[in-house]
């Protein structure tokens, strides 16, 4: 393989994530990373490193009790790097050192940020830096203050918990130093609301944030990508919360015992978190079958492109929805907000969605062959891993090593696979010099 092929953006991104995973595994294998004497087993370190770098949050051991302060710090650093995007981080370092980017650096970064043009990368990278620092700092202060004055934690414990959960929330990582995630704060809006803000801002996508910064008061001139992402995000958040409240309102193991206001809070939080954040304020294992199915849908779609969220992305789902609407209405073009969606974008969206579905099916079949756990819970675990969500019904640690290895592969593919695939499709698109005669096979 030639050097130029290795440096291709579609190859640099997964290789960079893989290198970070290897370094993280080595650090977590050190005796100093574990709370008890002795280093962590290599596979435990590997699983945790992959989950952190791929901002998933699935774990085989309790983060708060198994890992030492050093180990927790390594995990935080890993999901900060993973959420940032290796190429975005490289661009920020270049900005701080030189404030000017070479063409190749911009092209490589564009593979991770999905920005519209080479000239946009600098602006998007600046937004990454500013938004990350502002949001994480603001959320960390809010959580620290609440934990100190509302729960009486010592300043050092409150600060560490506030910082850890703020960074985890903004990066949609889902890691918590509490064994019950955020269940203990299920009725505390001063904890859940700041976390929800961080999740949405981090997961909406940096190109959207960049455009909102420059054209916030001029929505008529927002790009179609921004409009579709915002519309899809709002629809999923509201629809997901409403459906979950309907399914869980009287469930005695989840929302049933709560007051009305607390039900609304936890329902909204579950809808936000299901789109790749991975925190939970209610027992996921106690959800009804309808709610589990709802989570399949939300987790698979995920968040916005070039954000910290995973999944096949809102843009892909919206493009497919508009394609279906156009076909039902008998129109040749898919349209939205006075714009026509290109044929290339439609084909790319269908490809991403179909291959994502295939990966989920294969992952589910692979795990079912090695365990007797109920199929609906296995499907939940697989989609959670592929969508880099991190929610679990509690079966992760009970899975055999072969099934956990499949989850490792799913997390990696879910994080870098969609980025690599979309980039390869976009960069590889070209016009054929000829076309075969057209024929219409029977459909349906």
pLDDT at 424 over 80: no
Name 335's bridge partners: 340
Average pLDDT, the chain: 85
DSSP, residue by residue, 289-347: HHHHHHHHHHHHH-S-TTSS--SS-HHHHHHHHHHHHHHHTT-SS-EETTEEPPHHHHH
Distance between CA atoms of residues 19 and 87, nearest Å: 13
pLDDT at residue 115, as a whole number? 44
pLDDT digits (tens, 9 = 90+) for 16-69: 889 999 999 999 999 999 999 989 999 999 999 999 999 999 999 999 999 999
Going by pLDDT thresholds of 50, 70 and 90, the confidence category of residue 436 is confident
Instruction: Kindly give, in sequence order, each residue whose CB lies less than 8 Å from that of residue 13, ignoring residues fewer than 6 positions away.
Output: 85, 86, 87, 108, 111, 112, 416, 419, 420, 423
DSSP, residue by residue, 179-198: TTTTGGGTT-HHHHHHHHHH
Q: Which two tokens stand for residue 87?
A: 């190429």
C-alpha dist (Å) from residue 381 to 31, 96, 311, 400, 413? 30, 40, 14, 14, 15
Q: Which two tokens stand for residue 297?
A: 């849908």
Going by pLDDT thresholds of 50, 70 and 90, the confidence category of residue 310 is confident
pLDDT > 90: what percent of the chain? 59
pLDDT at residue 368, as a whole number? 95
Mean pLDDT, to the nearest integer, of 420-437? 63
Residue 365 or 331, more confident: 365
Mean pLDDT, to the nearest integer, of 150-168? 96
Q: Which two tokens stand for residue 234?
A: 């709002």
Which residue carries 């809010």 as its tokens? Answer: 142
pLDDT at 109 over 50: no
Name 117's bridge partners: none
pLDDT digits (tens, 9 = 90+) for 334-365: 888 888 988 878 888 888 899 999 999 999 99
pLDDT digits (tens, 9 = 90+) for 219-249: 888 888 899 999 999 999 999 999 999 999 9
C-alpha dist (Å) from residue 252 to 69, 175, 187, 256, 288? 37, 26, 16, 4, 11
pLDDT at residue 32, as a whole number? 96
Strands 339-340 and 335-336: antiparallel
pLDDT digits (tens, 9 = 90+) for 130-144: 788 899 999 999 999
pLDDT at residue 397, as a whole number? 92
pLDDT at residue 430, as a whole number? 57
Mean pLDDT, to the nearest integer, of 369-393? 94
Kindly report the pTM of this predicted structure: 0.88
Distance between CA atoms of residues 376 and 357, nearest Å: 16
> Hey, how many other C-beta atoms are within 10 angstroms of the C-beta on 137?
13
Going by pLDDT thresholds of 50, 70 and 90, the confidence category of residue 256 is very high
Lowest mean pLDDT among 122-126, 194-198, 359-363: 122-126
């Amino acid at each position: 393989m030639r050097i130029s092929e290795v440096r291709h953006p579609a190859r640099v991104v997964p290789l960079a994530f893989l290198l970070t995973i290897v370094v993280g595994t080595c650090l977590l294998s050190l005796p100093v990373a574990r709370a008890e004497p002795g280093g962590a087993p290599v596979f435990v370190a590997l699983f945790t490193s992959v989950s952190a770098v791929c901002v998933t949050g699935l774990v085989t051991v309790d983060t708060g009790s198994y890992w030492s302060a050093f180990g927790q710090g390594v995990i935080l650093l890993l999901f900060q790097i993973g959420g940032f995007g290796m190429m975005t981080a490289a661009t920020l370092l270049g900005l701080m050192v030189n404030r000017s980017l070479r063409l190749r650096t911009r092209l490589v970064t564009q593979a991770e940020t999905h920005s519209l043009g080479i000239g946009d990368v600098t602006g998007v990278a600046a937004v990454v830096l500013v938004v990350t620092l502002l949001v994480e700092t603001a959320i960390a202060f809010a959580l620290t203050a609440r934990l100190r004055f509302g729960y009486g934690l010592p300043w050092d414990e409150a600060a560490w918990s506030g910082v850890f959960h703020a960074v985890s929330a903004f990066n949609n990582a889902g890691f918590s130093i509490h064994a019950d995630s955020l269940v203990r704060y299920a009725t505390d809006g001063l904890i859940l609301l700041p976390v929800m803000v961080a999740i949405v801002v981090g997961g909406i996508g940096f190109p959207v944030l960049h455009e909102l910064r420059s054209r916030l008061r001029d929505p008529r001139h927002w790009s179609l990508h921004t409009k579709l992402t915002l519309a899809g995000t709002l629809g999923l958040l509201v629809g997901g919360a409403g459906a979950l409240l309907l399914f869980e309102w009287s469930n005695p193991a989840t929302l049933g015992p709560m007051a009305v206001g607390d039900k609304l809070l936890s329902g909204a939080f579950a809808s936000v978190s299901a789109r790749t954040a991975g925190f939970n304020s209610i027992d996921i294992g106690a959800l009804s079958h309808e709610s589990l199915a709802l989570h399949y849908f939300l987790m698979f779609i995920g968040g916005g492109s070039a954000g910290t969220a995973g999944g096949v992305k809102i843009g892909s789902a919206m493009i497919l929805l508009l394609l279906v609407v156009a076909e039902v209405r008998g129109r040749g073009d898919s349209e939205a907000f006075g714009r026509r969606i290109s044929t290339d974008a439609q084909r790319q969206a269908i490809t991403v969605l179909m291959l994502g579905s295939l990966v989920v099916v294969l992952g589910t079949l692979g795990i079912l062959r090695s365990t007797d756990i109920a199929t609906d819970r296995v499907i939940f675990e697989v989609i959670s891993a592929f969508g880099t969500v991190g929610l679990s019904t509690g079966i992760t640690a009970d899975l055999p090593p072969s099934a956990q290895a499949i989850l490792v592969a799913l997390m990696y593919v879910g994080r870098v696979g969609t980025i690599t695939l979309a980039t390869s499709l976009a960069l590889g698109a070209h016009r054929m010099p000829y076309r075969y005669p057209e024929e219409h096979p029977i459909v349906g």
